[in-house]
Amino acid sequence: MINGSTRVFALLGHPIRHSLSPAMHNELFRRLGVDAVYVALDVRPDDAERVADSIRTLGLAGCNLTVPFKERVVPGLDALSEAAACSGAVNVVLSENGKLIGHNTDGEGYLAALREELEVEVGGRRCVVLGAGGTGRAVAAALAGAGVASVTFLNRTAARAEHAVSTLAPRFPGVRFGFAPLTAAAFGASPWDLVVNCLSGAGVPAVLGFPVDGLAPGAVWTDANYWMADPPLLSACAARGVRIQRGIGMLLHQGARSFELFTGHRVSSDTVRGVLNIGGW
């Protein structure tokens, strides 16, 4: 029963109708007897600078953030976790003693899913990240922290990719960082060991013509988006024997970590998968 003391958590983003987060969190609240409710709020992108104040005004106990608010909320927060500060993006906000604390579970969730699903360790790999937004930077930071050899951002806007490199490179001096345009020529210039597609739907056309034949032996192509029915080039990679990973595993792991931050209850990715009635990866 929802009452006057029920804590309210929310997902803030645009668009959000595809999100599985409300179903996941509300079922976990029910199973664990947590007096809380989770709602999805579609917020206009033009209101991004007001999101932090809105969290305070509404008294939300915490929230998840998706595009386009992961980066734009940062100036309004009181403190950031190490992962959030490193990536410059936030996907979890907690209200603690009147202060808003930003966290980022994307990179942690990505690595956990990669290890669990494909038993892949990333140390020494040459990585290319498609997209330099909040998710791309969070994943890149996690990869750098795990000891990859290099990370290159391919992005439609060069300035955004350059900013990502200038932010991350000083934190990880042992990793080579670079950036280039989001083009087939730039993608084909190196035999990548690991590809991470962090582009939204608008970036799909640019990726469709990328040459996958030049990927290194043992390469892995991963996609951070779980809502696309047919993510770009996954089928082409699978047909050529390149191992692939869809975004659902990352969702399960980062969602489990978000729930732990919200409630203090640790849940496994298997539990989250069962809650959402998701079979294989």
Q: Which long-range contacts (CB under 8 A, 24 or more apart) does 44-49 make?
A: 44/14, 45/14, 48/72, 48/73, 49/75, 49/76
Note if 99 is an active site residue: no
Q: What angle do CA 42, 47, 49 make, to 5 degrees?
A: 125
pLDDT, tens only, 7-62: 999 999 998 888 999 999 999 999 999 999 999 999 999 999 999 999 999 999 99
- pLDDT cut 70: percent of the chain above it: 99
Evaluate whether 37 touches 26 at the Cβ level (below 8 Å): yes
Question: Does CATH place domain 7-104+249-275 in 3.40.50.410?
Answer: no
Distances (CA, A) of 142 to 107, 131, 191: 5, 15, 21
pTM: 0.92
Cα separation, 221 vs 242, in Å, equals 7
Q: Model confidence over 251-281: pLDDT tens digits? A: 999 999 999 999 999 999 999 999 988 754 4
What is the percent of the chain with per-residue pLDDT over 90, rounded to a whole number? Answer: 88
Domain ranges for the chain, please list them. Answer: 7-104+249-275, 107-246
Q: Which residues of 186-219 are buried (b: 16+ CB within 10 A; e: fewer)?
A: bbeebebbbbbbbbeeebbebbeebebeebeeeb
| CA nearest neighbour of 155 among 199, 192, 201, 211 | 199
What does CATH list as the number for 107-246? 3.40.50.720
What's residue 281's pLDDT? 43
Quote the mean pLDDT of the chain: 94
Mean pLDDT over 171-197 rounds to 96
Instruction: Give the helix/strand (H/E) hosting 153.
Output: strand 150-155
Q: Which of 52, 62, 70, 140 is catalytic?
A: 70
Distance separating alpha carbons of residues 26 and 31, to the nearest angstrom: 9
